[in-house]
Structure formats: structure tokens, C-alpha cells
Structure 1
């Protein structure tokens, strides 16, 4: 009887450890010619996924999955990965400028065929009131439907947040708690009216803080997320099929892409696992909601060989884990 009980428990443990990994889709490469020195980003509009990268020329490039898979040059000059999200029935694209400010563009014809989507000219979001935004660190943006929340790291390594309502920006203020980071911070909203922000601390651990969007109040301190270890910017995004938020980061020791879930308002990560195939990345991954309710994880791939010795990922190329649903 003890043997049978042990076997049952073992089967339960094994089954639970495989419950999340079994849902992983395969890594995809939508344009084999595209390379980036930084983190690729995606967002969905009208059920269509758009991907933007910083190219080797430090300009922004984009593709419209299924309509324009080859990347097309947007232009501009930036030394960090961009940020991209849906807001007010279009896509907003943010980048750091060379002047300590942020700049954003939108798709100007979102109701036309996705293959014809084009971008507006750039609009400035000033970072001068906080001493300038760090030009080498990617910003983050998150929508609650009414406002676009902009999170960026200043030249003093402090973390700042401001809101954009249409075309009016309310200015930056520091998120309380004295957090400092040498990587970009990441933000996401949740349906219960919260804004969650995570960042890599000076000890290479990930810290989280939540804001009540109804009152505007922050928790006031950053909470450590146990089990995390990264030397690059982490990312957080909402998963509509589960009501949870997904976090992903680059492990500081192995370079592997790690994935975890957190509940709105919480810091505890009930599980952490490697992304499929234990792939590696040279930059922090990004993630965004996918059209079917899951998430898309995006990485700048590192050279990776399968069990047969075949090179399946190449340094600097763009790879996507499309519509992962934990």
C-alpha cells in the first residue's frame, strides 16, 4: 500500500511539474533576415500582431505578422529597445531619444488593411523635470483603457511613472520606495484596477510594487520576488485567459529565459520554470497579450543547438513564443 501511495504521489508531482510546460507552443522566427542588438517587442491590434525592433542601425523597424513579415524601417535613432502597446484603438510606440526625453508614435490608419499600416511623426514626452531619462534603458507602457501609464528609468537610476491621456502628458514622478535599477523597468495593468511595476534591483533580484489606480496610491515599498536572479530588464504582462500576470526574465547565471506567474496585488511567484528548449538570450525578454488571450514572449536569441547538434537559434535573431497560455 505504501508503494502504491508513493507511486500516486510521485505521479502527481511529476504531472504538476509538467502542467505548465505542456502548454508551450514552439518558438517561431517570422523574418529570418532580421537581427537586433536588443529586446524585440510585440502588441496586438484588431487581432493582428505587430512586432518592433531596434535595428543594427539604431533605427526602429516593424513587421505586421501575416501581412508584412519582412521588417520595414520606421526610422529615428535610439540606443534601447522600444515599448509598444494598444491604446485608444491604435498602437503606441515609445522609444528613448538621445536628449533625455521619450518620443512616441502611433499607427495613423488603424482601420485600414493591416498590410498598409503606417506610423505618425514622433511626439515628445519630456523627461527633463527628473533630470533626463536614461537613453540606454528601454521604457515601458501599460494601458488601463483611459490612460497610458509610462514608466522609465532616470539618469539617477530611479524609477519614474507618468500618465498620457490622449496627447496630454501629466509629467513624471518617482515611484516611492527608493528603488534603483541599471536595467529598464516594466509595467502592466490588471482588470481589478492596479498597475504593477517590476525592476531588477542592484542585487540582481526582481522587485515589485503595485499602485491602486482608483486612488493613485502606491504600496510605498518594493517587495522582493523570491527565486529571481537576473542581470537584464525583466518584463510583466497580463494573461486574460487566467486572470494572472506573467513575468519573464533572463537568468543571470545561465542566460536562459525564465517564466513565472503572479496574482494581481501580490509578490509571491508560485512557480518558476525555464521557457521551452531551455533557450538562451543575450538581452532581457519581453512579453505582451496575444490575440487569443495568452501571451507572446519575444527574445533576441543566442546560438542554440538541439539534441542532434543542429543550430536552431542564431545570435541576434528574433524569436517568438506565440500565444502561450499557462
Structure 2
């Protein structure tokens, strides 16, 4: 398997990196700052479907936006205003009306990063005038906000944030060494770890998401302007190496999960249009199946076929048998598919057609006598090769007999059904019912035969 990259342009001309989130109902939405410095957004009309036109949300902004869901399931978008404070605008529920813009205060030198944490409370991160990371959070679901609290460090990018598998917060930022660093909680409202480096040399802020299965993944733009990705190798475990995600970005990336759980990345590309980049697995070409040669079956008895097919690593297919005979040692193969000598994949099914191996002596009539050892009556059935159906010829009580006349040129199967046998359902083609089974070829000039049921 290998990775493929699908890129979809969402158009427009934008002056910031985008912010995106998967909203209630499984539809992606993306926000960006236009050439008028106002906030605009575009959303999928259906789950994993087509996109709306860009729609305005107003304001005058000086940073990349970021977005999240709130506790009622509505969208919330954050951005830095001309006053240096972080502002936000929200919906009260899925697809609800938008509020006005409201300030969260502070003086910030970056755009915000936000998410809905465990317990339904929003949290927002930003870089202060001291270049440290600060955060502010709701005290209750959809409720009031705390004061801004410091998380320290000296950073050169917008922050990025995500939840980890235990439900704690994780914040990411680029350091003065241009590496990506992160700090985390071990669970909801837990204590914060120290800052730890994820290495690399990066020219953008990081963006991160918690993948299905509980592994974090972070994306950043490298010195080659391409997007790179690093993920945890196990749930809340150690980190793998940085690998190329692909695509060329001219802005900070923002990641989101698609409706199917796959990671999608939003970023500006040359020309300043927003693009959605999605990675997908490209299956390796299927290996050529191992092949074998079909043996010659024509002329052999049906009882000889299975060992030959097994030796050639082939499977038994359909057997066309219109004779009425069920004993394989009395049936000879007269045609087969695939043909003898054909090169086929191992495991191919081989079908064949049979006829009676030795013509039975022509029989003019059959007298059936019932001398059942347990004294039970039996039901007499005859199968005619011309019609392909079973015909009930009546019941035969103990000691009674019946004469059956046969037409020339047809193959007959005569069955005595004993309903008293175990697992008998009264059907003549059920071997559990057959007290007697006999085959004959009809011939008006043939000899009479007597069959006795014991």
C-alpha cells in the first residue's frame, strides 16, 4: 500500500490561513479572512458532499481564524481583532443563527486556537506579548469564561491544540529553534506536563487532531513549503517519525477529521485559494495469481475426478447429470470446462457433464414387490429423464406388488421411499428416505425385471 493525495480547491482569494472543523451532521466547514479583512466561511451541504458558496460573517480581523463546536453543537469562530484582543462569534445550535462578535480580551501576537474539551467546555489558546502561550476556558458547558492563564515558553507561531486519548488538552507551538513543541494534560482538567520537542525545522504553526483509535497527529509546513505529518504510533504512546503529507502550502495549515474519520488538511496554495488536501491509500497492484494446468477429465469415470482436481489444486465445480444415476462409478465425463490443458489460476472451479458409463439393458417393465423386513409400507416414485420430474406411483403395502411400464429411449430412476427411516422428509431425492434406488433405460422390446424391497 502507498499514499495518494487528493487536492480540492475551494477558490477565493484570502489573506490568512484557514480554520476548519467537522460540524454536527458530519459536514466540514472552513473559515478564512478575505481581502476585505472580514470573516468568510464555506460549508459542505451534505455529509462528505458538495460545498456551498462563500458566506460573510463580517468584522475586521488581523489573524488566521480558528473554529470549534460548542456544547449545543453550534459553530464558534475565533480571530484577533484590530485592538489585539481575541474575539468570537457563535451559533446556539447546529445550523443556528449567528451571534454578534464578542471579545475575550487580552493583547495577543498570534491568532487563536480553540477546541471543545471533555465535558463540553470551550478552551482557546493564544500567544501573548511576552511570546508565551496563554489559555482561557469556559467554567461550565456553554457558560462563562475563566481569566487568561499562562502556559509559559517562548514561541514564534500561532498555537495549535487537540485532545489526547485520555481526554486531556494538548497544545502545540513552534519554538525559537523552529522545532514543534507540545505540552499536555494526562486527563480532563489534569496537571500540565513540561514542554517537549517533536523536532524538525518548520516555517508554519502546527495543527493537530486526535485520530480514530486514539493517536494524535500533527501537521506543519517544512522549509520546502510542503506539508509534513507526525503521528503517535500507539494510543497516547510514543511518536513516529515526520513523514511527507504532500501538497504545497503558502499559509499555516489547519487539520480536521472528515466524516469517515480520515485526516484532511486545509491550507492556502499558490494563488491564495483555499485547498482541501486528503490522503488516501492506493492499493498495491494485485499479484499475479499462481497458475496450474487443467487435467483431461473427458473419458474418465466421475469417481476418478476429485483426486485429479486436488492434485492440480483445482476445485470441483458443477456436474451436469441428466441420467438419473447418482453413483459416480457409473457415470463417464463427456465434456468439461475449462478445456484440458488450459492454464488457469489455482483454485479455479472445473465443471463437467456426464452420461451413463455403460448403457443399461433395455427394460420393458418393472415389477416392484414390497417385502419390508419391518413390515412397513413404502411410496414408489419414478424420475423420467425426459421430463426431469419425480412422479408418485402410489403406495405399496407389505406383500403387495406393482408393475411399472417404461417408454423407450428414456432413463428412469425408481425409488422406494420409506417414511419410517430416520431424517426422512418424504422426498424421493433425499438419501435418508431411499429404501431402494435403481436405474434403468426404457425399451419396449426389452425384458421385464422384478425389484424386491426388503
Range into which the TM-score falls when normalised by the shorter chain: 0.5 to 0.7
Determine the structure 2 residue equivalent to 1:179. Answer: 200
TM-score (norm 2): 0.47
After TM superposition, the structure 1 stretch with the greater mean CA deviation from structure 2, 162-171 or 53-62, is 162-171
**Ranges of 4+ aligned residues in structure 1 off by more than 3 Å:** none
Work out whether 1:53 is the aligned partner of 2:79.
yes
8 Å contact from structure 2 (residues 214, 236) kept in 1: no
8 Å contact from structure 1 (residues 162, 172) kept in 2: yes
Determine the structure 1 residue equivalent to 2:136. Answer: 105
Work out whether 1:223 is the aligned partner of 2:243.
yes
**SS where residue 173 of structure 2 aligns?**
strand
8 Å contact from structure 2 (residues 125, 133) kept in 1: yes
**SS where residue 218 of structure 2 aligns?**
strand
**SS where residue 232 of structure 2 aligns?**
strand
Determine the structure 2 residue equivalent to 1:126. Answer: 152
> Size of the alignment, in residue pairs?
230
Post-superposition CA distance 1:153-177 (Å, at most 9, x none): 11121101121241521011111xx
Distance apart, 1:102 and its partner CA: 0.9
Higher RCO, 1 vs 2 (CA within 8 Å, ≥6 residues apart): 1
Unaligned runs of 5+ in 2: 1-7, 10-46, 283-454
**Greater fraction of residues in helix:** 1
Distance apart, 1:72 and its partner CA: 1.1
TM-score (norm 1): 0.65
Determine the structure 2 residue equivalent to 1:273. Answer: none
**SS where residue 75 of structure 1 aligns?**
coil
Distance apart, 1:24 and its partner CA: 1.1
8 Å contact from structure 1 (residues 193, 212) kept in 2: no
8 Å contact from structure 1 (residues 232, 249) kept in 2: yes
Determine the structure 1 residue equivalent to 2:257. Answer: 238
Distance apart, 1:243 and its partner CA: 1.6
Q: 1:67 to 1:99 in 2, by over 3 A?
A: same
8 Å contact from structure 2 (residues 89, 102) kept in 1: yes
8 Å contact from structure 1 (residues 247, 262) kept in 2: no
Distance 2:49 2:183 in 1: 39
Q: 1:214 to 1:35 in 2, by over 3 A?
A: same
Unaligned runs of 5+ in 1: 1-15, 112-116, 269-326
CA RMSD in angstroms, aligned pairs only: 2.5
Distance apart, 1:29 and its partner CA: 1.8
Distance 1:21 1:85 in 2: 22
- Structure having the higher Rg: 2
What is the 5 A alignment of 1:173-212? 173-175=196-198, 178-212=199-233
2:108 to 78, 101, 114: 78
